[in-house]
Chain A
C-alpha cells in the first residue's frame, strides 16, 4: 500500500531526474554528403560522444545539390535546423561575406591551426579569419596504367604536357579491347566538366574574365583548349564521354578501361583499394599535364565543416568540428580504418607521418599539387577572381553549368566549338550585365 501511495512521487522524481539529464545533453545536427570520408566520420560518432559525454550527434546525409539548397534555405531564413554544415571552398568565402557563417577566431590552442596547409586555410578564410575547418582537400593529377606504358615503351616524364598526352592517347587507344586512350570529365555541371575544363583553359593561357570582369570565353586560348579537349575526347575517349563525371570515370579506370585519366587526387585512395579496383598493381600517377603555362593546371578544392550563424549550439558545434578536423581524428581513422583512408590534404602533420606516407605512395604528389595550386593566381594573365577551377562569385554556379552544357554539346558534335563558345560568351555577358559587374 505504502509503495502504491509513494509511486506518483517516485515517478515524478525519476521524471525530473531524466529531464535534467536530457537538458544537460546538447544535441547537434550535422549536415553532410555521402562521400567515403564522411561515412567514416559518421561511423566514428561513438568515439566523439564518449570523449564528449555532454554532446550527442544527429546526422543528416543528403545529395550534394539538395544539401546545398537545403542549407541555403535554412541559413537565409534563420531556420536553425543545422549546427554543422559540410560545404566547399566555393561557398565558404561567399557565405562568410554574407554573415551566414560563424567566424572561427577562437580555436583552442591544441587545435594547432598553423599545421593546416596554407593554401587550404586561405581558401576557407575571409579577411584572414577562418570560417570553416578543412575536413579533406584535393587537387587534380594524372593517373595512368604503368603496364600499358611499359608495353608501348613510353616513359612518363616528371611533368607531362598535353601534347604528349594526346600522342600517348592516340598510341594506346584500342590497344586492348574496350580500352580508351584517355578518360576525362564530360558530364555538364560547374563542379563536373567545368572543374576540369577550367584547369585546361588555365594551362592553355586562358581565363574566365579579364580584370574588368568581361568574359573571355571566345578568346583564342579558350578556343584552343576546347578544340583540343573535344578532339582528344571524341577520338580517344570512351564511348558516351559526355555523360561521364567523376564517378563514371572512376568506375571505368578502376576496371582497366582507360589508359590515362586526369581527375581529383581523392580518387587515389579508391584506386588503391583492392575491393573496388582492378588496377592496384599497375597504377601510376603524375602531375596534371600542362600546356602554355603551369599556372592553374591543377585545381584546389576542400570539403570543410562550418557553423551556420543560425545555429543555437555554436559551442558544441565548434567542439565537434575541431575534433573532426584535428590531428587526433586523423590518427583515429588511421588506426581504425587503415592509413589510406585518412582524410588527406589538410595538415602538414599527416604528411610527416611515416605510417601514412608508406601506406599511400601518392601522398607526396598530392601534397605538392595542393601546395602549388594558387587560387589567387590561377591564369597566365591577371584575373579579378579567386579560384582555380571555379570563379568565386555567387553567379558562377549558373554560369558554369550553362557553359558546361554548351561545351558538352560541342563534345557530342551537336554544335561546333566556335558556336558553343560564342553562345557561352553571350550568355555569360548577359548574366554579368544583369548582376551589375559590367555595363549593359
Chain B
C-alpha cells in the first residue's frame, strides 16, 4: 500500500511535465507553421516604408494599405469568382468521384488498384507541360477567361485526390450495413443516398473542404487561363506586385483579404475536418 501510495504521486508528477513539454512542442510547431501568415497580416497594417524596413514587431498600425487596395480594384468581383470556381469545381468533383469511389470500394476488380495509381500519376506531371495544348483547346471552344473553364480545370485537377480520399473512407465502412440494406430491398441508389452518404458524411465533408481549399489557392491555371472576367483572388493578389514601386504592405493587405474567407471557413469547420481526416483511423 505504502509503495503504491508513494509511486502514485511520482507518476502524476511526471505526467504534467511530459504534457507540458509536448504542449510546448505542439505550440512551437504550430507557431512556426503559422508565422508567415501572421507576418503577412502584420505587414498589411504597416506603411510601405515600414514594411520594407528591418523586420520589427513594433510599429504604429495603419489601415492605409487596406484603403488603397479597396479603392483600386474590385475585391468583390474577384472574391465572387473564387467562390463560384472553388465550390463549383468541388461540387462537380464530388458528383463524379462518389460513384467512382463507390465502385472501386465495393465492387473492386483486379485492375482497381492500378486504376487508382494511374489516376494519381496524372498529378505528377508539371502543369506547365500541358499549358499550351489546354490553352489551344480552351481558345477553340471559347472557354478562355470563363468560370466554366476554370471549374472544369479545377475539377480535373482535384479529381484524383478526391477519388482517393473517398475510396479510403468508403473502404473503411463496414460492408455488413450495406448488405443489410440490400436485404431489406434497397436499390443501389437508395443504398448510396440513405446509407453510404450519411454514414461517411464527415469524410465527404473533409474531402470537399480540402478540394475547396486547393481550388481557392490555385494560382498557375487561374493566372494563365483568365484575364479580366473570370479572374479569381489569386490574380487579384498578383496585381499588387510592382517592378517600380513599393508594394509589400499593399500585397500583404490584399493577400490577407484573399485568404480571409477560406480561413474563416476552415476555422468554422475545423471539428468536421479533424473528424473527417481521422475518420476510420482507429477502429
Would you list which residues of chain A between 29 and 44 have a CB under 8 Å from chain B? 29, 31, 33-36, 39, 42-43
* Minimum distance in angstroms from B225 CB to a CB of chain A: 9
* Minimum distance in angstroms from A163 CB to a CB of chain B: 30
Would you list which residues of chain B between 106 and 140 have a CB under 8 Å from chain A? 131-132, 135-136, 139
Asked if B277 CB lies within 8 Å of chain A CBs, one says no
Do residues B135 and A254 form an inter-chain contact, with CB atoms below 8 A?
no
A39 to B68, CA, bound (A): 11
Asked if B239 CB lies within 8 Å of chain A CBs, one says yes
Contacts of A79 in B (CB 8 A): 135, 139, 144
How many residue pairs link A and B with beta carbons under 8 A? The number is: 91
Contact with A along B79-106 (1 / 0, CB 8 A): 0000000000000000000000000000
Would you list which residues of chain A between 56 and 77 have a CB under 8 Å from chain B? 58-64, 66, 69-70, 73, 77
A35, A77, A264 — which one has the most chain B CB atoms within 10 A of its CB? A77
A264 to B239, CA, bound (A): 22
Q: Which of B48, B72, B224, B245 contacts A70 (CB 8 A)?
A: B224
A82 to B224, CA, bound (A): 12
A251 to B49, CA, bound (A): 6
Asked if A276 CB lies within 8 Å of chain B CBs, one says yes
Asked if A235 CB lies within 8 Å of chain B CBs, one says no
* Minimum distance in angstroms from B129 CB to a CB of chain A: 13
Do residues B245 and A66 form an inter-chain contact, with CB atoms below 8 A?
no
Asked if B212 CB lies within 8 Å of chain A CBs, one says no
Asked if A313 CB lies within 8 Å of chain B CBs, one says no
Do residues B49 and A34 form an inter-chain contact, with CB atoms below 8 A?
no
Contact with B along A78-93 (1 / 0, CB 8 A): 1111100000000000
Contact with B along A380-396 (1 / 0, CB 8 A): 00000000000000000
* Minimum distance in angstroms from B240 CB to a CB of chain A: 6
Asked if A331 CB lies within 8 Å of chain B CBs, one says no
Q: Which of A5-13, A242-250, A431-439 contacts B (4 or more CB under 8 A)?
A: A242-250
Q: Which of A63, A77, A81 contacts B227 (CB 8 A)?
A: A81
The chain A residue with its CB closest to the CB of B223 is A66
Asked if A52 CB lies within 8 Å of chain B CBs, one says no
Contacts of A227 in B (CB 8 A): none
Contacts of A246 in B (CB 8 A): 243-244
Asked if A270 CB lies within 8 Å of chain B CBs, one says yes
Do residues A77 and B73 form an inter-chain contact, with CB atoms below 8 A?
no
Do residues A58 and B139 form an inter-chain contact, with CB atoms below 8 A?
no
Contact with A along B227-246 (1 / 0, CB 8 A): 11101000100111111111
Asked if A361 CB lies within 8 Å of chain B CBs, one says no
The chain B residue with its CB closest to the CB of A63 is B241
Asked if A334 CB lies within 8 Å of chain B CBs, one says no
Do residues A62 and B238 form an inter-chain contact, with CB atoms below 8 A?
yes
Q: Given the known A-B contacts A34-B242, A264-B244, are A62 and B228 also in contact in the complex, defined by CB atoms under 8 Å?
A: no
A82 to B52, CA, bound (A): 33
A36 to B243, CA, bound (A): 10
A213 to B268, CA, bound (A): 63
Do residues A31 and B247 form an inter-chain contact, with CB atoms below 8 A?
no
The chain A residue with its CB closest to the CB of B138 is A79
A63 to B245, CA, bound (A): 12
The chain B residue with its CB closest to the CB of A252 is B52
A61 to B238, CA, bound (A): 8
Do residues A73 and B132 form an inter-chain contact, with CB atoms below 8 A?
yes
Do residues B49 and A31 form an inter-chain contact, with CB atoms below 8 A?
no
Q: Which of B49, B52, B235, B246 contacts A62 (CB 8 A)?
A: B235
B53, B223, B228, B231 — which one has the most chain A CB atoms within 10 A of its CB? B228
Q: Which of B52, B135, B239 contacts A61 (CB 8 A)?
A: B239
Would you list which residues of chain B between 173 and 220 have a CB under 8 Å from chain A? none
* Minimum distance in angstroms from B75 CB to a CB of chain A: 13
A33 to B247, CA, bound (A): 12
Q: Given the known A-B contacts A39-B72, A77-B139, are A64 and B228 also in contact in the complex, defined by CB atoms under 8 Å?
A: no
A-B contact list, 5 entries, CB within 8 Å:
A36-B245, A60-B239, A64-B241, A251-B53, A255-B53
Given contact pairs A34-B240, A64-B241, a sample of 15 additional A-B residue pairs in the complex whose CB atoms are under 8 Å apart: A42-B72, A62-B235, A62-B238, A62-B239, A64-B243, A66-B223, A66-B238, A70-B223, A73-B224, A79-B139, A246-B243, A247-B52, A255-B49, A276-B48, A276-B246
Q: Which 8 A-B pairs have the closest CB atoms?
A: A61-B239, A63-B241, A34-B242, A251-B52, A58-B228, A64-B243, A81-B227, A60-B227
